[in-house]
């Protein structure tokens, strides 16, 4: 009797397992599917343009026996300098104080303070590059005894970089076409595209016109973009 019950129980378990398995989809076997074919290439694009802006730092420094006199003299000279820059065509929005300092002057053996040195520096952005040399001259005439620059830049750098990106993608596709032709494949759609880090503009010198003012060479700058593109291949 016990053997009969055990046989019936085993038969019931087998029936349940068989029922559970009915209707389940067969597992996909990745080994049976052909691997997707792709072509991965890097492309680069470059756009050249003439800088349109120049940045300068103009500074004045003065010395006096006392800290108060040194700072007062330096401040008065800086006000003259700022007025001269504005008169030369630089708006107040393009002028920014970058540093103010006051330091003691000591004797040769550093045993005593013999005076003070005050300095003040203003940063100026020149939007009309043809006037950059004349503005430098005006600043020096107004008392600037420290000049640093020019820092040349492109006003429309974002638009230029977008153009470089488009050229980089076109360059990548051209390379993919060459590789596909050599491999007996066809280039399909873009599976993925990755932008590399943006490169800083690279300056190239070009002689400036001789206007009699301090010469400032505009030159040209190159904006470069690099991408990595994965193309479907068939």
Please, which residues have CB within 8 angstroms of residue 172's CB and are 6 or more apart in sequence? Answer: 41, 42, 43, 193, 227, 228, 229
**How confident is the model over 157-190, as pLDDT tens digits?**
899 999 999 999 999 999 999 999 999 999 999 9
Q: Are residues 148 and 197 in the same domain?
A: no
Q: Are residues 146 and 67 in the same domain?
A: yes
pLDDT of res. 92: 95
Q: Are residues 110 and 163 in the same domain?
A: no
pLDDT of res. 114: 95
Please, which residues have CB within 8 angstroms of residue 48's CB and are 6 or more apart in sequence? Answer: 204, 220, 221, 222, 223
Identify the bridge partners of residue 103 per DSSP, sorted by sequence position: 117
Q: Are residues 125 and 184 in the same domain?
A: no
**Domain span holding position 59:** 53-153
| Number of domain units in the chain | 2
Identify the sign of the CA torsion 124, 130, 136, 141: negative
pLDDT of res. 31: 55
Q: Are residues 128 and 68 in the same domain?
A: yes
Residues in the chain: 234
pLDDT of res. 203: 57
pLDDT of res. 211: 54
Asked if the structure places residue 12 within a domain, the reply is no
Residues of the chain with pLDDT under 70: 1-34, 197-211
pLDDT of res. 139: 97
Asked if the structure places residue 64 within a domain, the reply is yes
pLDDT of res. 173: 97
- DSSP E strand stretches across the chain: 38-49, 53-64, 95-106, 113-126, 146-153, 187-195, 202-204, 220-233
pLDDT of res. 155: 86
Q: Are residues 128 and 160 in the same domain?
A: no
CB 62 within 8 Å of CB 74 = yes
**How confident is the model over 78-113, as pLDDT tens digits?**
999 999 999 999 999 999 999 999 999 999 888 899
Last residue of a domain, one of 153, 179, 197: 153
Asked if the structure places residue 175 within a domain, the reply is yes
pLDDT of res. 1: 44
Q: Are residues 131 and 84 in the same domain?
A: yes
Q: Are residues 65 and 148 in the same domain?
A: yes
CB 116 within 8 Å of CB 70 = yes
pLDDT of res. 202: 59
The reply to whether the predicted model has a pTM over 0.75 is: no
């Amino acid at each position: 009797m016990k053997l009969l019950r055990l046989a019936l129980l085993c038969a019931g378990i087998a029936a349940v397992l068989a029922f559970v398995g009915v209707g389940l989809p067969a597992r996909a076997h990745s080994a049976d599917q052909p691997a997707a074919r792709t072509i991965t290439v890097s492309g680069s694009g470059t756009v050249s343009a003439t800088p349109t802006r120049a940045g300068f730092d103009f500074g004045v420094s003065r010395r006096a026996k006392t800290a108060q006199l040194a700072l007062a003299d330096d401040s008065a000279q800086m006000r003259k300098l700022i007025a001269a820059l504005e008169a030369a065509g630089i708006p107040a929005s393009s002028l920014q104080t970058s540093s103010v300092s006051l330091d003691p002057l000591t004797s040769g053996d550093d045993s005593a303070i013999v005076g003070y040195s005050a300095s003040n520096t203003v940063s100026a952005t020149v939007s009309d590059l043809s006037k950059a040399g004349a503005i430098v001259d005006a600043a020096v005439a107004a008392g600037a005894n420290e000049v640093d620059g020019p820092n040349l830049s492109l006003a429309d750098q974002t638009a230029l970089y977008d153009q470089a990106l488009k050229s980089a993608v076109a360059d990548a596709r051209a390379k993919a076409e060459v590789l596909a032709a050599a491999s007996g494949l066809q280039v399909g759609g873009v599976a993925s595209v990755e932008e590399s880090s943006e490169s800083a503009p690279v300056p190239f010198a070009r002689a400036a016109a001789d206007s009699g003012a301090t010469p400032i060479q505009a030159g040209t700058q190159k904006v470069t973009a690099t991408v990595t593109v994965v193309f479907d291949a068939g």
